[in-house]
A and B are shown apart, each in its own frame.
Chain A
Amino acid sequence: MTLHSDNIRRAQPWLGTVVEISIRHEAVDVAQQACSAAFAAVAGIDRLMSYHRSDSELTRLNTAAPGTSVKVSPDTWNVLMWAQHLHRASDGLFDCAIARRLEKENFLPPVGNDTDSNATQEDVLLPEPGIVIKRRRLRLDLGGIAKGYAVDCGMEVLQKYGLTSACINAGGDISSMGDARPVYIRDPQRASRMKAGLKLKDEALATSAGYFGARQSAQGTITALVNPKSDRCIDLPHSISVLAAKCVIADALTKVVSLSGDIQHAALHSFHAKAWIIE
């Protein structure tokens, strides 16, 4: 097995989790600068897309009235474009317009203005780059896609600095460049135990599971994963991992596989991704 030997390893809290960057690069000064720049890029995504920040672009979009042309940054627009592609490729299973259900189940703080219960991702129009128009009253939560996107952004920054071997891990969404790095998956029955491993090289892996986020409700055990078809938070007894070329894809598709239970889902084929269910 190739043992990776990253000589720089740092972690900062962003995106509601701890984001870790590992780098193997001889010129330590350059590597440290690149690392700081990559964290700054991740921080930028956090500031744009945090549901909790009152001054984030997402909050501005969420509080805008339907029909209003809302100007957004390139990153926010990119994420919404990805969300639209994934929504259509998954036949609506991937849907960011689920904030309402998360608020009702206390996974998100309540915002206040009413939303249309029938609103979906399709009601988020992207008429031209940088412009978003909501067709109905709705609120988006980008928690199912923003981490993966942030990881990809961070990796692009590292590449701009000339780095060829690095790994970024945002709360379990991992992208590895250059070396083949061993990545471990937790046993969904016992999170302290590693059940399986995989070597990750020039690709991304994301995992969805319920061991940290599950809670009890009147309906039983639920997680912050919403089935947009039934408008319910669901339980996640198994662990789902998705391997894809980009972390934004891997991140989003874990939701599609988790909800469908289908590791051969058409969306996986559309994005050349592979999925596993670990019990």
Chain B
Amino acid sequence: MHYRTWLWMPLAAVSTSVYATTYLSVEQAQQAIFPGASMTAFPVTLTDEQVRHIEKLSNVNVRHKEIRAWKVSGGGWFIVDEVVGKHDFVTYAIGLAQDGSVKQIEVMEYRESYGYEIRNALWRNQFIGKTAANPLQLTQDIRNISGATLSCRHITDGVRRILITHDTAFR
């Protein structure tokens, strides 16, 4: 059996940290979902009536009337959407096939949010003036967290909203 010690974070070193990750840019997400395809920007602004219709059918609020969409050469759509969860913000890309079905979803940006903690500027100051030898270095590169499941329900709701938006405004 391995002998293993945890590296405990001194409380003074890590008070609050907002975990945020950028996985893919728009171009990278386009390539990941539609490799080799070219795209034409096709931004759409929903009318109030369309918004009402989408909200009614999807049972989800439409936060932005502007849809960031691209038409894919060879058929299909690439859309960038964002959702707000209880504990996080997620920007994701969704590729739709010609028939409007989901081809692939890629998370582009993920940011956890903790309400009052984000607005607390003190968390930034802990990183100033620290040396390379300071254990704080570890926390500047937090990339992997093992800590129970954050539900992706809001992404699922967003996808449902996007599918209905496609049926409503893209056909």
Taking Cβ atoms with an 8 Å cutoff, the residues of A that contact B are 1, 3-4, 6, 9-14, 16-18, 20, 22, 32, 36, 147, 167, 169, 171-174, 176, 181-186, 191-198, 200, 205-213, 239, 241, 243, 272, 274, 276
B16 & A172 in contact (Cβ 8 Å cutoff): no
Which residues of the partner chain A approach B110 to less than 8 Å between Cβ atoms?
A: 11, 18
Tell me if B146 and A13 are in contact (CB < 8 A).
no
Whole-angstrom distance between the alpha carbons of A194 and B11 in the complex? 9
What residues of chain A lie closer than 8 Å to B19, measured between beta carbons? 192
Residues A194 and B145 in contact in the complex (CB < 8 Å), given A17-B152, A18-B110, A18-B150:
yes
Query: Does B119 reach chain A (CB closer than 8 Å)?
Result: no
Bound together, the chains give a CA A29 to CA B105 distance in angstroms of: 19
A28 to chain B, nearest CB (A): 11
What is the CA–CA distance of A241 and B17 in the complex, to the nearest angstrom? 21
- From B107, B137, B148, B151, A12 is in contact (CB under 8 Å) with B107
* B32, B87, B137, B141: the one within 8 Å of A10 (CB): B32
A276 CA to B2 CA in the complex, in Å? 13
Query: With contacts A16-B153, A212-B150 known, what are 16 further pairs, Cβ within 8 A?
Result: A9-B21, A9-B23, A11-B21, A12-B104, A12-B105, A13-B92, A17-B150, A169-B146, A172-B146, A182-B141, A182-B144, A191-B114, A195-B8, A198-B4, A206-B146, A213-B148
Task: For B18, list chain A residues within 8 Å (CB).
Answer: 192
Set A14, A176, A197, A208: member contacting B6, Cβ < 8 A: A197
Min CB gap B143→A, angstroms = 7
A193 with B16: CB separation less than 8 A: yes
Contact across chains for A171 and B149 when beta carbons are under 8 A apart? yes
Chain A residue, CB-CB nearest to B88:
A18
| CB interface residues, B 3-21, toward A, < 8 Å | 4, 6-9, 14-19, 21
Contact sample, A vs B, 26 pairs, CB 8 Å cutoff: A9-B23, A10-B24, A18-B107, A18-B152, A20-B107, A167-B144, A171-B148, A172-B150, A173-B146, A174-B144, A182-B138, A182-B143, A182-B144, A186-B147, A186-B148, A191-B147, A192-B16, A192-B18, A192-B19, A194-B139, A195-B8, A205-B146, A207-B148, A209-B147, A209-B148, A213-B149
Tell me, in angstroms, the Cα distance from A272 to B4 when the chains sit together: 13
Min CB distance B83 to A, Å, is: 10
What is the bound-complex CA distance between A210 and B4, given in angstroms? 25
Residues of B within 8 A of A3 (CB): 141
Is there contact, CB below 8 Å, between B149 and A192? no
Report the 7 A-B pairs with minimum CB-CB distance, sorted nearest first.
A171-B149, A11-B107, A186-B147, A13-B152, A196-B6, A192-B114, A207-B146
Contact with A along B14-37 (1 / 0, CB 8 A): 111111010110000000100000
Residues of B59-109 contacting chain A, CB below 8 A: 87, 90, 92, 104-107
Q: Are A11 and B147 in contact (CB under 8 A)?
A: no
Contact A16 B141 (CB under 8 A): no
Contact residues in A for B105 (Cβ distance below 8 Å): 12-13
Contact indicator A194/B149 (Cβ below 8 Å):
no
Question: Which chain A residues lie closer than 8 Å to B139 at the CB level?
Answer: 184, 194
B121: interface (CB < 8 Å): no
Q: Indicate if the CB atoms of B9 and A194 lie closer than 8 Å.
A: yes
Give CA–CA (A115, B154) in the complex, Å: 31
Distance from A270 Cβ to chain B, minimum over Cβ atoms (Å): 12
Does B142 lie at the interface of the complex (its beta carbon under 8 Å from any beta carbon of A)? yes
Interface centre among B18, B106, B117, B149 (most CB of A within 10 A): B149
Specify the chain A residue showing the minimal Cβ separation from B104: A12
Q: In angstroms, how far is the closest chain A Cβ from the Cβ of B41?
A: 23
B4 lies within 8 A of A10 (CB): no
